[in-house]
Amino acid sequence: MTCTSDRIKLPPPQQPDDSHADLSGLHVLLVEDSKFNQQLANILLVRAGIEVGIADDGIEALQALEREKFDAVLMDMQMPKMDGLEATRRIRENPALADLPSSR
């Protein structure tokens, strides 16, 4: 991977094979405070056919989950305002979000 100051250049996408699940069409919330990491993850997720919503911290994540339905949440652990652990705890306490996947 080559990186310039404002752009990320990734190798061309590989053809999917049968060993990977088809993720296209999923709506995923990416919760990440680093703009660089947001950009990189967004490119990779969109390349897989995933619709991406982005939140900068746990508070924004909870607000986004109130406004929109997501199939999954990718959560950073260390963020300002509200970290990923607290945000995940609050998500798990909310019965309206019980259908989100869990690693439990």
Across 1-104, where does the E strand assignment appear?
2-3, 8-9, 27-31, 51-55, 72-75
**Model pLDDT for residues 15-72, shown as the tens digit of each residue:** 655 445 678 889 999 999 999 999 999 999 999 999 999 999 999 999 999 999 999 9
- Quote the CA–CA distance of 52 and 48 in Å, as a whole number: 11
Domain boundaries, the chain: 29-56+68-75
pLDDT of residue 23: 81
The C-alpha angle with vertex 13 and arms to 51 and 22, in degrees rounded to 5, equals: 50
Q: With 0.75 as the threshold, say if the pTM is over it.
A: yes
pLDDT of residue 94: 93
Task: Find all residues with CB under 8 Å of 21, minimum gap 6, and list them.
Answer: none
